[in-house]
Structure 1
Amino acid sequence: MATDKGGAWFTVAGHGAHIRATRDYLTIRRGGREEQIRVNTLDHLIVIGGHTLHTSAVISLSRAGIPISFFDADGKAAGRIALRGDCYQERLREAQRRASKHNYALVFAKAGVDSRILAIERYGHSHGWSLLYEGELDLLQSSREEIQYLVRMEEIRRLHKYLRDMYYEIMARTLPPELGFRRRTERPHRDPVNAMLSFGYAVLFGVAGTMVAAAGLDPCAGVLHDGDDGLIRDIIDGFQPVMVDETVFSMAREGIAETAYEIGERRCYLSDDLIGELLPRLHRSIREEAVAAVVRDYCDALLKGNVFSPVY
């Protein structure tokens, strides 16, 4: 079956796939299944884990100017065939260094706040508005409008953190109180919900980290978030509510047995059974192509001057 993946970063994950190509089609065969993608619709091939890559695929993608990035099973970068030229990554990282941090930080901050407000509104429309105290939603929305007028980076980060903390405290009211989740805490966590959120964020972080590395971006050149892997944290911030939080909160509302976790002297330990239930749900809710699209748009904005309007 041939499929169009328009402007796509196509990912082959897991293990055991055979990857071949003709001039027109990339073919991935695994077990008894075969998928074909038109080469002229691809932007990037990402190979994660152990697979067989035939020289026909390398030659075909090379002629089409499509890069191939390789990662081990844990998502750690293992190599890259930089078919766009050796200077591509240098140009991209130089563009990162020269870009206006303020402008991009505003975009990421608004995206994260919008995503959290929408999550609250979705819950309110489907379950009722008892989760909100009087005036809270108005405060969130008015504060969101203030972000675009902030000039100093510290002000943007401070307001973003304040609204994010407020979101967690609001959503905590929708969960069974016996789980002990009141707000987002620093590690080590003392309740299962915070521990599950951190687990989910780690999975999402791995997906985004792979995409950032494949693009050739500097992961430490964050704009809204400082420090190591700041750019990855920028990118996933707006995805956390819909791709991780809703999954974790849904499981918490369904009920988590006391035997599914253990609260020790210093931290909460999740059982293998609980992780085994959570992980497949995360695999369904974390949409790799949506993350890749934001990374792609960021690269295009840096190199081509396109307006950066990520879709979260």
Structure 2
Amino acid sequence: MPHLIISAGILTMERAGRWVTVAGSGAHVRASRNTLTVRRMNTVQEYDLQNVGHLIVVGGHTIHTSAVISLRRAGVPISFFDADGLPAGQVLPSGYDAGERVREAQKKMFGHTYALTFARKAADSRILAIERMGNSSGWSFLYDGELEFFHRNRDELPYLIKMDELRRVSRLIADTYYEVMARTLPPGSGFRRRTARPHPDPVNAMLSLGYAMLYGVAQCAALAAGLDPNAGALHEGNGALVNDLIDGFKPAMVDETVFTLVRAGLDAGDYEAGTGRCILSDALVGRLLPALHASIQDEPIVSVARDLSTSLISGKEFSPVY
């Protein structure tokens, strides 16, 4: 069952347990009072509800009302995403939305200082990922001056006063990071850069699946900490705060896992990319999900959300650890 924590004067909820991710299409999800069942073609997976911490549903599936009712009674959040990994909504147990005081502080105080912190953390994580790759496999994938480019733009962030400029340089770092890391992957993967949906290649599709899982965890963490998930600092639009929270976690928790799997080799039957949208096979998703479940750790994300909530209430410096 969930347990409650008092932190920074607000009520928050945590639930221990494994995440269950249902991705792709065509699965049937049901539940009894004690068991969650996921049926796909000729395979059936059963989970003890007491050991389920979060159900993440990506793509088109059939979910019986029994599953929604049983999971809500057990205190398990459900996060829904479309086939391309875009968030579609959540079903949350009572007690997740208890942060009126925090949200008031978020409206009044959230701004450039917090946006700068998120931008620097995201830049640091991408630079670190590039340096890990260089140290482990050699630096031939980098062009002359590229590493200095990343460091120079990262060091420029504190001097950017306008939010538009801060966002522009942060996006430039991220876009260039993907182009650089694309050179470390087999040419046949079709990945050159991060693309808009629908994704034409398997790497972008795999990244989006991983980011959807990361998003689901961070959205629950934000709500549990009393934060408004749509009121971001660095990012804008729906889920802006969630995107603020996850940006610095993407390289280590998702990108490295996806890139490692791609470097190991993809088979011709692992995906279909001839229809304008790349569709991942069940077999590839079956290899990817366990690796992502191992690499996406919820506690660091929860910790950053708590730190942000505490900072907004207390006025103390926000200095999260990624």
TM-score by length of 1: 0.78
In the alignment, which residue of structure 1 is the partner of 2:102? 92
In the alignment, which residue of structure 2 is the partner of 1:166? 176
Pair 100,254 (structure 1): closer, same or farther in 2 beyond 3 Å: same
Residues 210-254 of structure 1 deviation map (CA, whole Å, 9 limit, x = unaligned): 111222211110111000000000000000000000000001100
Q: Is 1:11 the counterpart of 2:16 in the alignment?
A: yes
In the alignment, which residue of structure 2 is the partner of 1:177? 187
Pair 81,186 (structure 1): closer, same or farther in 2 beyond 3 Å: closer
Q: Distance in 2 between matches of 1:156 and 1:174?
A: 28
In the alignment, which residue of structure 1 is the partner of 2:28? none
Unmatched 5+ residue regions in structure 1? 19-29, 36-45, 55-68
Letter in 2 for 1:72: I
In the alignment, which residue of structure 1 is the partner of 2:214? 204
Pair 154,308 (structure 1): closer, same or farther in 2 beyond 3 Å: same
> 8 Å contact 1:140–1:163 — kept in the other structure?
yes
TM-superposed CA distance for 1:10, in Å, is: 4.5
How many residues were matched structurally?
Answer: 266
Pair 73,221 (structure 1): closer, same or farther in 2 beyond 3 Å: closer
In the alignment, which residue of structure 1 is the partner of 2:140? 130
SS at the partner of 2:159? coil
Q: Distance in 2 between matches of 1:17 and 1:308?
A: 41
The structure 2 residue matched to 1:262, chosen from 258, 265, 272, is 272
In the alignment, which residue of structure 1 is the partner of 2:78? 72
Q: Distance in 2 between matches of 1:148 and 1:52?
A: 44
The structure 2 residue matched to 1:299, chosen from 309, 314, 320, is 309
Letter in 1 for 2:244: D
Letter in 1 for 2:17: V
Residues 106-154 of structure 1 deviation map (CA, whole Å, 9 limit, x = unaligned): 0000000000000000000010000110010011101100001110000
> 8 Å contact 2:232–2:242 — kept in the other structure?
yes
Q: Is 1:236 the counterpart of 2:246 in the alignment?
A: yes
- Larger relative CO (CA 8 A, sep 6+): 1 or 2? 2
In the alignment, which residue of structure 2 is the partner of 1:106? 116
Pair 191,51 (structure 1): closer, same or farther in 2 beyond 3 Å: closer
TM-superposed CA distance for 1:172, in Å, is: 0.5
Unmatched 5+ residue regions in structure 2? 8-12, 21-30, 36-46, 56-69, 81-88
Letter in 2 for 1:214: A
Q: Is 1:141 the counterpart of 2:151 in the alignment?
A: yes
Letter in 2 for 1:79: P
Could you list the runs of 4 or more consecutive aligned residues of structure 1 that deviate by over 2 angstroms after TM superposition? 7-18, 46-54, 72-82
SS at the partner of 1:76? strand
In the alignment, which residue of structure 2 is the partner of 1:121? 131
In the alignment, which residue of structure 1 is the partner of 2:83? none
> 8 Å contact 2:72–2:93 — kept in the other structure?
no
The structure 1 residue matched to 2:293, chosen from 283, 287, 303, is 283
TM-superposed CA distance for 1:78, in Å, is: 2.4
In the alignment, which residue of structure 2 is the partner of 1:38? none
Name which one, 1 or 2, has greater alpha-carbon Rg.
1
Q: Give 1:245-260 correspondences, 5 Å limit.
A: 245-260=255-270
> 8 Å contact 2:15–2:76 — kept in the other structure?
no
- Single out whichever of 288-297 and 7-16 deviates more from structure 2: 7-16
Q: Distance in 2 between matches of 1:173 and 1:94?
A: 45
Pair 70,180 (structure 1): closer, same or farther in 2 beyond 3 Å: closer
TM-score by length of 2: 0.76
In the alignment, which residue of structure 1 is the partner of 2:95? 81
Q: Distance in 1 between matches of 2:208 and 2:265?
A: 19
> 8 Å contact 1:17–1:52 — kept in the other structure?
no
> 8 Å contact 1:224–1:234 — kept in the other structure?
yes
Letter in 2 for 1:172: A
Pair 120,90 (structure 1): closer, same or farther in 2 beyond 3 Å: same
> 8 Å contact 1:197–1:244 — kept in the other structure?
yes
